[in-house]
Amino acid sequence: MIHVEGLRKSFGARVAVDNIAFDVNAGESFGLLGPNGAGKTTTMHLLAGLLSPDGGTIEIAGGNDPTRKAVRRNIGIAPQAFALYEDLSAEQNALFFGRLYGLSGAKLDQHVSWALDFVGLNERERDLVRTFSGGMARRLNLACALVHNPPVLLLDEPMAGVDPQSRNLLLENIRHLKAHGRTIVYSSHYLSEAESLCDRVAILDEGRILALDPVDDLVASYGGPQQVLVELNGPLPELDQNEKLPGTFNGSTWNFQSEDPLPYLARMRARGAEFASVRVETPGLEAVFLTLTGRRPRD
Amino acid sequence: MRAIFTLAGKDLTLLLRDRAALFWVFLFPVVVAVLFGTMFGGGAKGTAALPVMAIDRDNTQASRAFLKSLEESPAVKLEMAKAAEDGEAAVRRGEVVALLVLRPGLEKSLAGKGGGAAALELRADPSRRAELGMLRGLVAEAAIDNIVLPQPLELMPSLRAAAGVPSTPRIDVVGVESARDRPRTAFEFSFPSGMVWGLIGSVATFALSMVRERQAGTFLRLRAAPLTRAEILGGKAMSCWLACMAELALLLALGVLFFGMRPGNPGTLAAAFATSSVGFVGLMMLLSQLGRGEVAVASAGWAVMLVMAMFGGAMMPYFLMPEWMQQVGQASPVRWAIMALEGTLWRGLSWRELTQPCLYLVGLGVVCFALGCAILQRRAL
Ligand SMILES: Nc1ncnc2c1ncn2[C@@H]1O[C@H](COP(=O)(O)OP(=O)(O)OP(=O)(O)O)[C@@H](O)[C@H]1O
Ligand SMILES: [Mg+2]
A132 Cβ under 8 Å from any chain B Cβ: no
Task: Specify whether B165 is located in the same domain as B237.
Answer: no
pLDDT of amino acid B164:
47
The best mutation among A7, A9, A11 to test binding of ligand 1, ranked by most ligand atoms within 8 Å of the C-beta, falls on A11
**Model confidence over A257-299: pLDDT tens digits?**
887 888 888 888 888 888 888 888 877 777 787 788 776 655 4
Task: Specify whether B144 is located in the same domain as B57.
Answer: yes
Q: What residue's CA is closest to ligand 1, atom 25? A: A36
Query: Among positive and negative, which fits the CA dihedral A139, A145, A148, A152?
Result: negative
Contacts of A102 in chain B (CB under 8 A): 226
Which residue has better confidence, A129 or A65? A129
B377 Cβ under 8 Å from any chain A Cβ: no
Question: Rounded distance, CA B48 to CA A183, Å?
Answer: 73
Question: Rounded distance, CA B60 to CA B66, Å?
Answer: 10
- Tell me the pairing of strands A253-257 and A55-60: unpaired
Contacts of B381 in chain A (CB under 8 A): 51-52
Confidence band of B44 (pLDDT split at 50, 70, 90): very low
Q: Are B275 and B362 in contact (CB under 8 A)?
A: yes
Q: Which helix (H) or strand (E) holds A14?
A: strand A14-24
Q: How far is CA A238 from CA A229, A230, A243, A273, in A?
A: 19, 17, 11, 10
- Beta carbons of A96 and B220 less than 8 Å apart: no
Task: Specify whether B251 is located in the same domain as B121.
Answer: no
For residue A54, report the phi and psi dihedrals to the nearest 5 degrees: -80, -25
Q: Which CATH number is B52's domain given?
A: 3.40.1710.10
Q: Are B265 and B352 in contact (CB under 8 A)?
A: no
| Ligand of minimum distance to the alpha carbon of A14 | 1
Contacts of B6 in chain A (CB under 8 A): 96, 99-100
**Model confidence over B342-353: pLDDT tens digits?**
888 887 788 998
Q: How many CA atoms lie within 13 A of A40 on its CB side?
A: 27
| Ligand of minimum distance to the alpha carbon of A46 | 1
The best mutation among A41, A203, A295 to test binding of ligand 1, ranked by most ligand atoms within 8 Å of the C-beta, falls on A41
Question: Rounded distance, CA B335 to CA A102, Å?
Answer: 42
Task: Specify whether B55 is located in the same domain as B154.
Answer: yes
Look at residues B145, B175, B205 and tell me which one is the last residue of a structural domain. Answer: B175
Q: Comparing A34-48, B56-70, B307-321, which segment has the lowest mean pLDDT? A: B307-321
**Model confidence over A31-64: pLDDT tens digits?**
999 888 999 999 999 999 999 999 999 999 888 8
**SS3 category, B303:** helix
Nearest to A79 among B7, B18, B221 (CB): B221
**Which residues does a 6 A CB cutoff place in the pocket of ligand 1?**
A 11, 14, 16, 34, 36-42, 80
Look at residues B143, B175, B207 and tell me which one is the last residue of a structural domain. Answer: B175
Task: Specify whether B195 is located in the same domain as B307.
Answer: yes
> What pTM value is reported for the model?
0.75
B10 Cβ under 8 Å from any chain A Cβ: yes
Task: Specify whether B122 is located in the same domain as B194.
Answer: no
| Ligand of minimum distance to the alpha carbon of A32 | 1
B12 Cβ under 8 Å from any chain A Cβ: no
Look up the domain containing B209 and give its range. 187-377
Q: Are B38 and B186 in contact (CB under 8 A)?
A: yes
Task: Specify whether B282 is located in the same domain as B169.
Answer: no
Domain layout of chain A by residue ranges: 2-221, 225-282
| Interface predicted TM-score (ipTM) of this complex, two decimals | 0.83
Q: How far is CA B122 from CA A44, A247, B9, in A?
A: 74, 112, 52
B216 Cβ under 8 Å from any chain A Cβ: yes
List strands edge to edge, sheet with B98-102. Answer: B76-80, B50-56, B98-102, B120-124, B171-175
Task: Specify whether B208 is located in the same domain as B316.
Answer: yes
Query: Among positive and negative, which fits the CA dihedral B243, B245, B249, B255?
Result: positive
Whether B360 is covered by a domain: the verdict is: yes
What is the CA(A290)–ligand 1 centre distance, in A? 21
Task: Specify whether B209 is located in the same domain as B337.
Answer: yes
What average pLDDT does the segment B163-170 reach? 59
pLDDT of amino acid A194:
84
Angle CA(A212)–CA(A214)–CA(A218) in degrees, nearest 5?
70
The CATH number given to A2-221 is 3.40.50.300
> In terms of residues, how long is chain A?
299
DSSP A81-136: S----TTSBHHHHHHHHHHHTT--HHHHHHHHHHHHHHTT-GGGTTSBGGG--HHH
Structural domain count, chain B: 2
DSSP B105-149: THHHHHTT-STTS--EEEEE-TT-HHHHHHHHHHHHHHHHHT---
Whether B36 is covered by a domain: the verdict is: no
**SS3 category, A15:** strand
A83 Cβ under 8 Å from any chain B Cβ: yes
